[in-house]
């Protein structure tokens, strides 16, 4: 069975309470994995100078990432998510104190030496209270977007082709959990990625430019996301629908953990506003079920009938399914009249930001 590559957001969930960090980078990581001798002929390739075969793992092999991740998982099996995170050749060691961190780091280095893995010292970062990992800055305060990535986005020129739009969206999508209403914000750009789009002088519309600038602005002012703590309580889901999309933010004791959004398809856009509002909540709870199930939390919605969902006698089939799904959670409804603002901290040093219950998806 192929080993899955871990998701960055799931890795970060393990960092609650960590104060010290070390990032290790393996030197030409793939090339440190030898290929089974019987499989070497399968890697043969022809050049003008003759036929060659790989004796070590190489980029381009379909199963190379999964194979490499499997080796790393096996190497650090006793420490994974208990002081060590591994994403391919990027290794993160963390601890709640300097002594705990250093003890774990020593164990990791011993394992690397035991298995004959070599690190690239110039790309390693030792014993930091804040460092870069997987395109993010991590610290005891939480996670934020790496400023160098923000700089890339700010300098990104307006796309001049469908491929250019896809490249920009691919980059921005990696950080969508930091952007309130990303799915709706990106709608004009996603329209330009359809197969029937033929690029000409009129393709890049004012709406597309506004979406492009809006995503840039949102990343520039992205909040610091806190680490989820199952023991801290204070969980809240703020959800809303805009007619073209649904969105939500997961808060813990007033601090944002993640934003989520989804564009509504043509059928969903014709739903009654009440159903769209309900879907916004259901979608958010399904997305964050691993955080919310089994714990009490609040749901904030600005659609009044949702507050009385459990006692409504006349529900559509969709609402019945959603109502049954919601019964697995321990929540209380809180009706928010209009657009309530929630103040959340901003670890960029610019002071607190405001988010609205009306997310726009």
pLDDT at 361: 42
Within 10 angstroms of residue 78's Cβ, the number of other Cβ atoms is 10
Query: By three-state DSSP, how is residue 249 classified?
Result: strand
pTM across the whole model: 0.81
Q: pLDDT digits over 265-299, tens only?
A: 999 998 888 788 889 999 999 999 999 999 999 99
Do both 126 and 165 map to the same domain?
Answer: no
Q: pLDDT digits over 37-72, tens only?
A: 888 888 888 999 999 988 888 887 878 889 889 999
Do both 46 and 164 map to the same domain?
Answer: no
Which H/E stretch holds residue 255?
strand 255-263
pLDDT at 339: 53
Do both 123 and 206 map to the same domain?
Answer: no
Do both 214 and 296 map to the same domain?
Answer: no
Q: Which of 225, 347, 336, 211 is nearest to 288 (CA)?
A: 225
Q: Is the pLDDT of residue 351 over 90?
A: no
Do both 167 and 260 map to the same domain?
Answer: no
Give me the domain span that covers residue 291. 235-356
Query: Is 226 contained in some domain?
Result: no
Report the percentage of the chain scoring pLDDT > 90: 52
Burial 14-39 (b: 16+ CB within 10 A, else e): bbbebebbbbbebeebbebbebeeee
pLDDT at 340: 52
Q: Can you spell out the DSSP letters for 203-239? A: TS-HHHHHHHHHHHHHHHTPPPBPPP-TTS--EEEEE
Q: Please report where in the chains the tokens 């002929």 appear, as a residue.
A: 41
Do both 194 and 130 map to the same domain?
Answer: no
Which phi-psi region, left, alpha or beta, contains residue 154 (left: φ > 0; alpha: ψ -120 to 50)?
A: alpha
Query: Is 335 contained in some domain?
Result: yes
Do both 126 and 152 map to the same domain?
Answer: no
Phi, psi (5° rounding) for residue 156? -70, 120
Q: What's the CATH code of the domain at 208?
A: 3.30.70.270
């Amino acid at each position: 069975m192929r080993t899955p590559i871990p998701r960055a957001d799931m890795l970060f969930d393990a960092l609650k309470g960590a104060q010290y960090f070390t990032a290790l980078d393996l030197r030409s990581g793939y090339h440190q994995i030898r290929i089974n001798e019987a499989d070497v002929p399968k890697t043969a390739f022809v050049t003008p100078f003759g036929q060659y075969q790989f004796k070590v793992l190489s980029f381009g092999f379909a199963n190379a990432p999964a194979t490499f991740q499997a080796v790393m998982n096996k190497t650090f099996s006793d420490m994974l998510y208990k002081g060590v995170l591994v994403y391919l050749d990027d290794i993160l060691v963390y601890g709640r104190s300097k002594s705990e961190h250093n003890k774990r780091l020593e164990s990791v280095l011993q394992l690397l030496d035991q298995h004959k893995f070599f690190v690239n010292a110039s790309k390693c970062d030792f014993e930091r209270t804040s460092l870069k990992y997987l395109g993010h800055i991590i610290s005891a305060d939480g996670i934020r977007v790496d400023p160098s990535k923000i700089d890339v986005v700010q300098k990104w020129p307006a796309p001049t082709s469908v491929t250019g739009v896809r490249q920009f969206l691919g980059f921005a999508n990696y950080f969508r959990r930091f952007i309130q209403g990303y799915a709706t914000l990106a709608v004009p750009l996603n329209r330009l990625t359809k197969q029937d789009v033929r690029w000409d002088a009129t393709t890049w519309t004012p709406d597309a430019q506004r979406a492009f600038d809006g995503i840039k602005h949102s990343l520039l002012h992205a909040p610091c996301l806190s680490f989820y703590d199952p023991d801290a309580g204070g969980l809240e889901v703020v959800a809303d629908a805009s007619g073209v999309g649904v969105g939500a933010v997961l808060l813990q004791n007033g601090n944002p953990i993640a934003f989520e959004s989804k564009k509504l398809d043509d059928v969903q856009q014709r739903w009654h506003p009440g159903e769209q509002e309900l879907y916004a909540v259901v979608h958010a709870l399904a997305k964050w079920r691993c955080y919310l199930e089994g714990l009490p939390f609040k749901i904030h919605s600005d659609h009044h009938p949702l507050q009385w969902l459990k006692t409504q006698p006349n529900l559509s089939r969709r609402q019945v399914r959603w109502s049954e799904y919601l019964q697995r959670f321990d929540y209380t409804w809180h009706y928010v009249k209009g657009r309530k603002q929630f103040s959340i901290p901003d670890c960029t040093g610019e002071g607190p930001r405001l988010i609205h219950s009306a997310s726009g998806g």
